[in-house]
Structure 1
């Protein structure tokens, strides 16, 4: 197979480049594709119809997750994280999730993202509906409800795949959950392979499986059909030629079964590769087995559940596979669902060998690996130690022992897709690599013992493992020994679950273990039983369980029963309860060399007690939504969100130590049916021992205020708060919960009792100068809320207040004299832009709003940023104000600084380990990181919005408050950031309040430095190339594969940007002068060195008055970056990016007729600033938005396009080690200046950048 571009996570557009040259940059119009680059702002529609927004940074990581109200108003967002999975479950869906009627993964934002189910990628949400048994039997077809379309039916497991129209998701949800014959609704998730990339020089692993033993050496898997359900295979790799007897693509890939990912080729060759390219060194386990290739995972490494189900049926029912290898899976919170059911339905016909997963901690076996009938495989290294990444049991059901067996999964060498000669093989690690070792071993054993059923093969393999003292929940029976399995005479069931004791008072029990002798001779075994608690550490008392016999004789061709007793009443340490596992080992007495390993388990549920938890708000009422309760048991490594009913939770919990966290929200009035949350209280009881009936009361009235004091007065603009919790001894696996409170939440409270070393609390906020005080004539200050996108009162002033009623459609505005006065709108329902607009048209200088008769405050959805202040007050204050007006006191005065004009901002992340801290938090500016920021405008005053994302261990990037903050440009302010090794910050600056539409510039994530000071600019031109602010490589190389992490563009401070819906970005490549076609962010090169040219192009869809944000500058950026990709230079590639320091003012303008000197430097990726060998600089004046012959579909105020013949050469000088170009600025006032920069370094790198409308002349 010819080298193909390889898989990457980059969702980037490719554009073929033609005629690329310094003299005439041009591209063929038909080559342009409109997808955006990897960095993006996404929206996800949940099955409930709720919407969630998120940001994908340049590195492809998901952060900035926030619930979005239908009317775009601010709302609370509650996030719960378990490892890399982020869940946003709306309150109205929680009960169905808790009952397992609805798949929790439907609310896993990370999984929706990885599956490509964001709203920009698909307008439908794929689900699988599970029906009552027999519902789809025969000719029955599933009912298709409104808003759903049938994808396909899976009669074997009474399920059907549907696509739910996202526009109708809310209505469909209501109908679907009411269907009596529906038993479950599952996400048709994209399931991924279980691998970890490594690169080492290593020895073969097949020899460590017993494949070359005295008996096994005589077998090679001939005549056995092994299906590999994966990413396909390299159809031309020499190691697989002639090995594949059938193949089929279930992913609808344009390249069919050909593997552009590499995972499937690696696993297939591990099973049955012939080792041709290595002269047999890297041969597979069963090189004569027949391979059946089902491509169920696409070129991205993921595939839909529905496609995998069809692949399973095809392999077994159509192609009669004897063994099915599935090196794939997904996280599971319960061992049920379509994939598990399909394994169970087909396991009488084929042996399913499935990887355990790479989640490295307890109870993380993936699905479908958790299926009882599957032969589930954990990973070990060459020394027999459990791989650090290998998922541990028990099964997600909480009690079944898994995995069943283990094999080589660390640094495994096998065929590389697209590789030949020196690049024919690749090193991967993962349980994905362990499973095909076992599948190949099963093929050899099946060839040698052809009379055995799939279940019997499973039993033989687990009975014949290498001796092991590892935990059963890590390696199952132990490491596979193919040689012993061929001769194994004594066979026992695999991972037999002996009993389930639902409480410690269960009765003494006797059971029996069946040993089968397949030989022609009687065999006597000496027996031994070793058990260990679920924690893998607790040695259990001999009085808990034992064997009634020390030896047993199994008759030839017969069976023997080994009696065993269990006394579940024996007291254990709390952490030992649960899945008790161990091995019965039997060794022959006499001259024969026989032994058997029998993995066994039983479940003892520790004593349970009733735990009642009460949550009370600051009014003394039962806490309501959006209050939350979290419960964590460190000993059992689990934690969960607990559903509240009437502010109370009754939970049946095992005895042990618990940490409980209550986040209590108190409304601004006692009636929570109206108004807004006014305060939040973070409360915790830490490491509480529960060994009897217990009641815990969280009363927000007992919580103490949390305030922040700095040298300058602070006014927090909302909060985010939460915790992380380490749920494994290595403190690697963590839980996290985050509550994001909008800016209408005025106060924060906290309280905790006890201490827990694994617990970390945090409170974040962005605080500005105290907002303007607005005062009634009687001296009472108004407690107001900024309304939507509107401005606040600023400076000093006073005005008469004129009541205008509800301001509805029937309002006669002519009756009001509003010039220079404030309109008081009293609408019982809402405030809209229409109402505010009418007040402005009639001369109002501001608007005050309240809802009469409702209670509490309200925040409307004012759009368009009206040029007068608009504030809302509570019903109670509104009625008081109205009473004053009626008494003739109709003047309101104001004094102070509007939040959007604050001269400073503090980003604070207060992190405390082991507890929650209340009281005054003193902020020391000299220990913070100070950034003096200038926000540039475009010769006007315009709004922008800022967000700051914080990040501590295991949280990912989350917004530091529940609201974006408005800022009026141009603006300068000092910004202070908490500097801590425990935290990193990402700044997000947006020209529009919705990042999905208007895009944004980013800085970070990066840790701030204590005491550091720096300057930065935002929105300063030119809009051009960027290396990005996160520190990751633009292009990196691993062996012969290039990986692309491209920023769409950047501003003058190198902040990487995205356009949103208002623009488009794309890239293209040439290799040695020939167009190349990268695939999803990767490109495989032939061995050797190559000249690479990267073209980047970004443009605005509308300019000036044709832009929704009146964006006049940077209408088109085009860049060409050329470098040599030398195979000796792995890692970061030498991309050279010109940096153009335009001496513009804060309005992005220069004076017409005044010459300006422009400093020119070059940044080399991974190095920093480098000396430039050559510099050219050109300029031109005009109103054009784009260049002739460069396809860019821009709504421009002028129809003419710029001709490249009109470039003018600037004088460029090398002065005192610096390159400086002089622009005469002889254009007319109102002209825009286009610029073109060409640079080269002393190595192989050169670059050309063009920015249309880089700045303006005034």
Structure 2
């Protein structure tokens, strides 16, 4: 407290104009200063970090004295480690604007990917962000791209598995991952669902046990076991028998270990497989919860009058739980179980209670006014969503398995993203429906647009429910079909979902009183589940398919497309009184253009007569296009127009569609059956979607030798939103006529000791017939930067941006350390839209130069080791594998040791080997260790997962890696017993070059960037400090079309204090932001982030940083 009092008193004695320059001064963007008083605020905050929480109460008056002191608008100063009540402290200083002082977590979020790569997103000015990517393995390149508002980060190691459809792309959508709460602050483990091969799945078994941890990702339940060991770094949370899978919690701290354990070296040619019997890995996705008028609207009271109230029928509601003490539900619950770790079945959200009471509430709290559809049914409560209304796919699948084996009807007013029906939840619905005969009644979703049916409602077996209002008008929010992928006919049926009054959970904060009004397909779904219970009471022998057909066949026809509303609006009395059932819907699928040779498609409709007398039915088919026009004669035919269905028997007819007839577009309609009195007794919805004019577009990828390669191809066109497809050598897709762009990054071998990366493609080509695009590296030109001083690349990025019409895509490749050269294939200039190609370099003075004879070895300094400083002439000794036994009888003190890297190890095994080799070398007194690769590629050996920075993880030994071809020569010379290597180490570069070379309209033939000093900005920078610590810095570049600046993964190290000359490209419309971070500050680390600025060629500037 005395130190703090002294600091504040000092601040009060200073004039407001007392200042020292922190930033540069020049005409281009004015003068930026930080006041000495503001420095004292930093001192105050540092003092606060040492106080106990109780001491904070003693300093209110001191804080008030500092309110006149404000930070300069030029900076963001961010402590890296937060202190107790830090944000409250900032708020206590009115003039200390929140966007000038950021505490840890207030302006950045970090997500660890399944591969172990770490992505940090920092919000900066004007809604923009900087995205830093720190690869798990710096030898592995990273692809980054932006589509719309979503940014993806995909390491090269994942590309083969994506191309083989073994890996879910959602695992790499960093924007959505953070938005959905998968960030490292929210979850310490990444939840995934794995599907096993059949042989592995058969070995899965469960044991008894209960999860008790609150966080899904913290679950260590011993309840789930398999005969096959779990991958390293992962714990099995639950077995999902319905999809031959399991839910895993993959520790983010061990993400790299997990990835390396499940991935053998993936070939760039052959489709890879995961180890541990894993067939595919999905993100364990987030799922969210999507009556006095609505119940009579569907005719439920008429059913009650006939004695059908759902009595005794068990209905499982999978939702947010239940208020067990609500008067409408208190006597309705037969069984309840929570599938949310750490939460009971009690409903702290309110959605589940509302839904359950719509199914079977007694209306006791309203004298029967708000009675549910089936008030005498029995309720099984499966809590699969937490008290915030959110859950994981795996919890829901687990709940589905429990529900299907304990109830004949399962109501699910929840859903995930748009689906083609092949996702894990949809798979589970189909398998459980077939195995148990249960009916899954599932909400369609609340998207409101076409093609927006969500998971698990996209499942074939699901009875998928849309919503109408009280006037039987389609609700604007109700998700519509067709189903993604195959054009499937969904939803199946609709029910009231707008303004539904039902029970309110007293355990939630929603509303007041006993009832609550809610809207959505979530509210429509339980109406249908209750109706199914009523129907099952009358027909207890029926299975889910029979219930589904009866409810669909007897719905009230509405004047809407079956792709929007299904067969119609639920009609309980009609379903209860009908004695004839038919196939619910016929989807004739999606027909590719042209249709000249298409064969007729035949589907069957089976009519079932549940009465004791034969029934004669007249069948009439109506089929129209979306404009309401009748189809050409003969396009749709039925095999019989009048049929007799025997008593308690069936009759099947054939419905045929001739795709050759009719133009492209969607056709839809109904097949209606009427009895001898002209009464409609059943109707079946029908639909087909005919592709508009499209042509096959084929991609072929080839490396320098003409061999096929794995690639992720980015495609955008005037009629096509940006998309990326993963291919092995060749792949064909279908596109409409128009102008397109297709680009891809290829990893290729350029010969001995050479791994290269090539941007290939064609940014503009026309499609007016079958088309082939050759993604051929053989015509590539090398990309290079030449500057006056000797340099090496610390960071390289190749990037392109393409806009055609309203569609645009930005993609970039962060080059791995083992890549020797980068290339691009020259293109013609585009005539439509915009195309930009750029290369980014961060160049420094070589950190380690090893001269062997007349050659300077191409070596890569290792993460986590201490760089050498100075020049040396060192004797060199070969020590085999570098084990303690290899050192016996050898004197390596102060010398260079050369060791071999093992062959045929899994990636996860190289880190322990390198660590062991380094420890042995250090114990023996070696000064430098060179690891020779087992193949002819450069590489960065890994000693730790941390960069070579002053975070306390470095070992006091310099370690580097070289290729086998060069290493073999060094080993041969060392074995002669008289090898000395000339070594120069520069841990802190005295100069840096931040360069960007931009080309508009095309990739030119000449890709050599050789800027003169007059084309660059020279910044003489002084990094001040009296602490003697170390800092690191990074400079971000931003083009006008970017909202996200892609950050350099490997920051440069700075010794404090020090001077450095920094050369920066002054390219039109390129903005730059410089960030410096003081590491290991006495109290807590902090960083300074400069706003984005543009430069003019030839400027000479000076900056002073880190004044303390």
Category of TM-score, reference length = shorter chain? 0.5 to 0.7
* 8 Å contact from structure 1 (residues 323, 352) kept in 2: yes
* 8 Å contact from structure 1 (residues 194, 432) kept in 2: yes
In 2: Cα distance, 1:493 partner to 1:706 partner: 63
In 1: Cα distance, 2:517 partner to 2:1087 partner: 38
Displacement after TM superposition at 1:600 (Å): 2.0
In 1: Cα distance, 2:533 partner to 2:369 partner: 20
Task: Determine if the alignment matches structure 1 residue 454 to structure 2 residue 575.
Answer: no
Task: Determine if the alignment matches structure 1 residue 946 to structure 2 residue 1027.
Answer: no
In 1: Cα distance, 2:192 partner to 2:438 partner: 32
Task: Determine if the alignment matches structure 1 residue 231 to structure 2 residue 320.
Answer: yes
In 2: Cα distance, 1:643 partner to 1:98 partner: 5
SS at match of 2:396: helix
TM-score scaled by length of structure 1 = 0.57
* 8 Å contact from structure 2 (residues 874, 983) kept in 1: no
In 2: Cα distance, 1:754 partner to 1:448 partner: 72
TM-aligned CA distance change 1:812 to 1:350, over 3 Å: closer
* 8 Å contact from structure 1 (residues 331, 366) kept in 2: yes
In 2: Cα distance, 1:342 partner to 1:605 partner: 29
Match of 1:121 in 2: 188
Task: Determine if the alignment matches structure 1 residue 294 to structure 2 residue 372.
Answer: no
Displacement after TM superposition at 1:313 (Å): 3.8
Task: Determine if the alignment matches structure 1 residue 642 to structure 2 residue 729.
Answer: no
Match of 2:657 in 1: 566
Write out aligned runs for 1:237-316 (5 A): 241-254=330-343, 256-272=344-360, 290-299=378-387, 301-316=389-404
Task: Determine if the alignment matches structure 1 residue 681 to structure 2 residue 748.
Answer: no
Identify which of 271, 276, 288 aligns with 1:193: 288
Write out aligned runs for 1:298-447 (5 A): 298-299=386-387, 301-318=389-406, 320-329=407-416, 335=422, 337=424, 340-346=427-433, 349-357=437-445, 365-378=453-466, 384=473, 387=476, 390=479, 392-394=481-483, 398=486, 400-407=488-495, 415=504, 418-419=508-509, 422=512, 431-443=521-533
TM-aligned CA distance change 1:881 to 1:103, over 3 Å: closer
Match of 1:52 in 2: 117
Write out aligned runs for 1:983-994 (5 A): none
Could you report, residue by residue, the CA deviation over 1:778-814 in whole angstroms, capped at 9, with x for unpaired residues? Answer: 99999886665789999xxx96866746698789999
SS at match of 2:318: strand
SS at match of 1:643: strand
Higher helix residue share: 2
In 2: Cα distance, 1:433 partner to 1:724 partner: 44
Write out aligned runs for 1:615-654 (5 A): 615-617=701-703, 619=704, 622=707, 624=709, 627-630=711-714, 639-644=723-728, 648-651=729-732
Displacement after TM superposition at 1:475 (Å): 3.5
Identify which of 617, 624, 629 aligns with 1:530: 624
TM-aligned CA distance change 1:792 to 1:138, over 3 Å: closer
* 8 Å contact from structure 1 (residues 409, 434) kept in 2: yes
Match of 2:227 in 1: 144
Match of 1:507 in 2: 599
Could you report, residue by residue, the CA deviation over 1:1029-1073 in whole angstroms, capped at 9, with x for unpaired residues? Answer: xxxxxxxxxxxxxxxxxxxxxxxxxxxxxxxxxxxxxxxxxxxxx
In 2: Cα distance, 1:365 partner to 1:939 partner: 60
Match of 2:142 in 1: 77
TM-aligned CA distance change 1:681 to 1:205, over 3 Å: farther
Could you report, residue by residue, the CA deviation over 1:819-876 in whole angstroms, capped at 9, with x for unpaired residues? Answer: xxxx9987776998998999999999xx998969975654455835799999989899
In 2: Cα distance, 1:180 partner to 1:899 partner: 42
Write out aligned runs for 1:1125-1144 (5 A): none
In 2: Cα distance, 1:512 partner to 1:236 partner: 49
Gaps in structure 1 of 5+ consecutive residues: 1-15, 26-30, 196-203, 1019-1144, 1150-1258
TM-aligned CA distance change 1:900 to 1:720, over 3 Å: same
Could you report, residue by residue, the CA deviation over 1:853-909 in whole angstroms, capped at 9, with x for unpaired residues? Answer: 97565445583579999998989999999999x9xxx999999x9995557857899
SS at match of 2:751: coil
In 2: Cα distance, 1:518 partner to 1:757 partner: 64
TM-aligned CA distance change 1:359 to 1:272, over 3 Å: same
* 8 Å contact from structure 2 (residues 931, 959) kept in 1: no
Could you report, residue by residue, the CA deviation over 1:674-713 in whole angstroms, capped at 9, with x for unpaired residues? Answer: 4443x53242355653744x54322335456779999999
TM-aligned CA distance change 1:614 to 1:599, over 3 Å: same
Identify which of 599, 616, 622 aligns with 2:685: 599
Could you report, residue by residue, the CA deviation over 1:1140-1179 in whole angstroms, capped at 9, with x for unpaired residues? Answer: xxxxx95553xxxxxxxxxxxxxxxxxxxxxxxxxxxxxx
Identify which of 824, 832, 835 aligns with 1:749: 824
Gaps in structure 2 of 5+ consecutive residues: 1-51, 62-83, 86-103, 208-223, 267-271, 903-912
Displacement after TM superposition at 1:492 (Å): 3.5
* 8 Å contact from structure 2 (residues 445, 452) kept in 1: yes
TM-aligned CA distance change 1:261 to 1:904, over 3 Å: farther
TM-aligned CA distance change 1:364 to 1:639, over 3 Å: farther
In 1: Cα distance, 2:57 partner to 2:641 partner: 84
In 1: Cα distance, 2:1003 partner to 2:361 partner: 57
Aligned length: 940
In 1: Cα distance, 2:618 partner to 2:458 partner: 34
In 2: Cα distance, 1:984 partner to 1:404 partner: 53
Displacement after TM superposition at 1:549 (Å): 8.9
Of 241-250 and 551-560, more deviation after overlay is shown by: 551-560
TM-aligned CA distance change 1:817 to 1:146, over 3 Å: closer
Identify which of 767, 770, 776 aligns with 1:699: 776
SS at match of 2:422: coil
Write out aligned runs for 1:34-45 (5 A): 44=112
Match of 2:77 in 1: none
TM-aligned CA distance change 1:138 to 1:542, over 3 Å: same
Write out aligned runs for 1:663-678 (5 A): 663-665=744-746, 669-671=750-752, 674-677=753-756
* 8 Å contact from structure 2 (residues 918, 929) kept in 1: no
Displacement after TM superposition at 1:489 (Å): 7.2
In 2: Cα distance, 1:454 partner to 1:476 partner: 18
Task: Determine if the alignment matches structure 1 residue 497 to structure 2 residue 623.
Answer: no
Write out aligned runs for 1:730-769 (5 A): 738-742=812-816, 747=822, 749=824, 751=826, 765=840, 767=842
In 2: Cα distance, 1:929 partner to 1:433 partner: 63
Could you report, residue by residue, the CA deviation over 1:304-323 in whole angstroms, capped at 9, with x for unpaired residues? Answer: 555434423433433x3534
Identify which of 544, 556, 566 aligns with 1:476: 566
Match of 2:742 in 1: 661
Displacement after TM superposition at 1:376 (Å): 1.5
* 8 Å contact from structure 1 (residues 978, 1008) kept in 2: no
TM-aligned CA distance change 1:491 to 1:19, over 3 Å: farther
* 8 Å contact from structure 1 (residues 80, 86) kept in 2: yes
Displacement after TM superposition at 1:146 (Å): 3.1
Write out aligned runs for 1:894-905 (5 A): 902=991, 905=994
TM-aligned CA distance change 1:241 to 1:868, over 3 Å: closer
Match of 1:1154 in 2: none
In 2: Cα distance, 1:185 partner to 1:221 partner: 44
Of 224-233 and 331-340, more deviation after overlay is shown by: 331-340
Match of 1:200 in 2: none
Q: CA RMSD for the aligned pairs? A: 7.1
TM-aligned CA distance change 1:567 to 1:624, over 3 Å: closer
Displacement after TM superposition at 1:375 (Å): 0.6
Displacement after TM superposition at 1:435 (Å): 3.0
In 2: Cα distance, 1:104 partner to 1:755 partner: 30
SS at match of 1:642: strand
SS at match of 1:51: coil
* 8 Å contact from structure 2 (residues 762, 773) kept in 1: no
TM-aligned CA distance change 1:917 to 1:411, over 3 Å: farther
Displacement after TM superposition at 1:746 (Å): 5.8
